[in-house]
């Protein structure tokens, strides 16, 4: 696993960045990557740009020097693995450049923002917070929440208390750690929750507060993308009464190197699916067992020592701890791409 070292930008095209005016130069700088989502959506295939979102909020440019990069402008289901690599690489590039921003904001569709936030939490590192935000209500709807979420994100991005906390999601005045957060409702303003760990902090009217201390030191990225090759195929299968071997076998035959199970309860499956998963490990596929309940842990299953004695070519089977299936998939994908040894997987999945 690559833990340290300079990250090199991976083939990123020259970005178009709106430059600050001279009056703005003394303020902390926040760099906004606009990617689309409901926060930008006006209906009828019309979308606001990131600059329009920023300029639409009175006083925002008095709070910070804000530079905006139109990264994409799409629903979040259209965000790709390549976007993730480019985004992480671009942040790493800005971190190491002159006039490095105090913090970063990603405006993003809410459906998959927990995935993007978690990916960035594993691949960016550094002291400067990365705030992923969006909106539950379209930009032109009454009571649209995008402007307050974006304004609060700027406040959190420049707050000294945010430093060293990595990637976070800000929605509905609440700040969540990327590992903990999930979208748990389709429409409510309060759609985002952290079922096990709870809210990390609040963007209250008077101040930004955190309920847990920041790490003692800023952390390097857990995975250095500059040293990691292409991501392998990793799929999620869903357990339910009557689930058979078809989905597992199909993914393995399609070339999956990892399979995550959204298991029942503490990670159970049906006998048929269970047999298919064991067959998959015999073909070298790593299986990570998560769960479909929405909260709680799936324990480690295997002691690291027992993973040492895996027969050659056999994939490990480990528990996802408290990672939901979509996040366990990201961690497994990065671990496989970085050639993390099987015996190191339990510690990796446990690490917070
Ligand atoms: N909630 C959708 C998303 O996550 C909204 C799509 C859109 O309006 O762009 O992207």
Give the closest residue (by CA) to ligand 1 atom 3. Answer: 109
pLDDT reported for residue 263: 98
Q: How far apart are the C-alpha atoms of 10 and 91, rounded to whole Å?
A: 11
- Kind of pairing between the strands at 46-47 and 65-74: unpaired
pLDDT reported for residue 20: 53
Domain presence at residue 219: no
Q: Are residues 234 and 269 in the same domain?
A: yes
Q: Please, which pLDDT band fits residue 26 given cuts at 50, 70 and 90?
A: confident
Q: How far apart are the C-alpha atoms of 30 and 104, rounded to whole Å?
A: 6
Q: Are residues 161 and 243 in the same domain?
A: no
Q: Are residues 150 and 237 in the same domain?
A: no
Domain boundary among 146, 179, 210: 210
Q: What are phi and psi of 336, to 5 degrees?
A: -70, -40
Q: Which of 23-27, 112-116, 276-280, 336-340 has the lowest mean pLDDT?
A: 23-27
Sign, CA torsion 351/220/234/38: positive
Ligand 1 centroid–CA 173 distance in Å is 20
Q: Are residues 239 and 94 in the same domain?
A: no
Residue 61 burial (C-beta neighbours within 10 Å; 0-12, 13-18, 19+): middle
Indicate whether residue 41 lines ligand 1 (CB < 6 A).
yes
Domain presence at residue 216: no
Q: Which domain, by its residues, includes 138?
A: 12-210
Domain boundary among 175, 210, 245: 210
pLDDT mean over 224-238: 98
Q: Which residues of 160-186 are buried (b: 16+ CB within 10 A; e: fewer)?
A: eebbbbbbbbbbbbbbbbbbbbbbeee
Domain boundary among 154, 180, 210: 210
Q: Are residues 314 and 344 in the same domain?
A: yes
Which run of H or E residues covers position 318? strand 317-319
- From the list 301, 232, 311, the residue with the least C-alpha distance to 261 is 301
Domain presence at residue 65: yes
Whether the pLDDT of residue 348 is over 70: the answer is yes
Domain presence at residue 78: yes
pLDDT reported for residue 149: 98
Q: Are residues 176 and 255 in the same domain?
A: no
Domain presence at residue 271: yes
Selected residue with higher pLDDT from 116 and 19: 116
Domain presence at residue 1: no
Whether the pLDDT of residue 115 is over 90: the answer is yes
Q: Are residues 187 and 235 in the same domain?
A: no
Indicate whether residue 111 lines ligand 1 (CB < 6 A).
yes
Mutation test of ligand 1: which of 34, 40, 41 has the most ligand atoms closer than 8 Å to its C-beta? 41
Domain presence at residue 104: yes
Q: Mean pLDDT of all residues in the chain?
A: 93
Give the closest residue (by CA) to ligand 1 atom 8. Answer: 38
Q: Are residues 57 and 194 in the same domain?
A: yes
Using the atom order of ligand 1, give the atom closest to the CA of residue 76: 10
E-state strands within 172-285: 174-177, 182-183, 192-193, 201-203, 208-210, 234-238, 258-263
Q: Are residues 266 and 319 in the same domain?
A: yes
| CATH code for position 337 | 3.40.50.40
Q: Which two tokens stand for residue 343?
A: 């015996």
Using the atom order of ligand 1, give the atom closest to the CA of residue 74: 9
Domain presence at residue 7: no
Q: Which two tokens stand for residue 95?
A: 């971190």
Using the atom order of ligand 1, give the atom closest to the CA of residue 112: 4
Whether the pLDDT of residue 19 is over 60: the answer is no
Q: Give percent of the chain with pLDDT exceeding 90.
A: 89
DSSP characters for 60-107? HHHHSEEEEEEEEEE-GGG--HHHHHHHHHHHHHHHHSTT--SEEEEE
Domain count for the chain, please give it: 2
Using the atom order of ligand 1, give the atom closest to the CA of residue 78: 10
Whether the pLDDT of residue 13 is over 80: the answer is no
Q: Are residues 188 and 253 in the same domain?
A: no
Indicate whether residue 101 lines ligand 1 (CB < 6 A).
no
Q: Which two tokens stand for residue 298?
A: 């799936």
Indicate whether residue 109 lines ligand 1 (CB < 6 A).
yes
Q: Are residues 174 and 235 in the same domain?
A: no
Active centre residues (catalytic): 38
Q: Are residues 206 and 235 in the same domain?
A: no
| CATH code for position 203 | 3.40.50.1170
Mutation test of ligand 1: which of 34, 35, 36 has the most ligand atoms closer than 8 Å to its C-beta? 36
């Amino acid at each position: 696993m690559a833990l340290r070292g300079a990250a090199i930008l991976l083939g990123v095209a020259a970005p178009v960045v709106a430059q600050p005016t001279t009056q703005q130069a003394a303020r902390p700088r926040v760099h906004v990557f606009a990617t689309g989502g409901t926060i930008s959506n006006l209906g009828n295939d019309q979308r606001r740009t990131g600059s329009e979102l920023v300029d639409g909020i009175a006083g925002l440019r008095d709070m910070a020097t804000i530079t905006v990069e139109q990264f994409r402008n799409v629903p979040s289901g259209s965000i790709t693995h390549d976007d993730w690599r480019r985004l992480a690489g671009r942040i790493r590039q800005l971190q190491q450049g002159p006039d490095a921003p105090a913090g970063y904001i990603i405006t993003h569709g809410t459906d998959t923002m927990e995935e993007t936030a978690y990916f960035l939490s594993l691949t960016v590192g550094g002291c400067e917070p990365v705030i992923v935000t969006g909106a539950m209500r379209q930009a032109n709807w009454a009571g649209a929440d995008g402007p307050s979420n974006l304004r609060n994100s700027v406040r959190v991005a420049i707050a000294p208390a945010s430093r060293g906390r990595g990637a976070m999601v800000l929605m509905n005045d609440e700040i969540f750690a990327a590992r903990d957060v999930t979208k748990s409702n389709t429409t409510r303003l309060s759609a985002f929750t952290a079922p096990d760990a709870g809210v990390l902090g609040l963007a209250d009217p008077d101040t930004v507060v955190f309920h847990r201390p920041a790490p003692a030191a800023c952390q390097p990225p857990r995975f250095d993308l500059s040293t990691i090759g292409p991501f392998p195929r990793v799929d999620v299968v869903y357990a339910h009464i009557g689930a058979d071997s078809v989905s597992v076998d199909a993914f393995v035959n399609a070339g999956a190197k990892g399979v995550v199970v959204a298991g029942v309860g503490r990670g159970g499956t049906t006998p048929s699916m269970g047999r298919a998963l064991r067959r998959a490990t015999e073909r070298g596929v790593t299986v990570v067992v998560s769960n479909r309940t929405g909260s709680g842990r799936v324990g480690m299953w295997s002691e690291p020592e027992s993973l040492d004695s895996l027969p050659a070519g056999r994939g490990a089977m480990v528990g996802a701890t408290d990672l939901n299936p979509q996040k366990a998939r990201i961690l497994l994908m990065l671990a496989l791409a970085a050639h993390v040894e099987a015996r190191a997987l339990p510690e990796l999945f446990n690490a917070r």
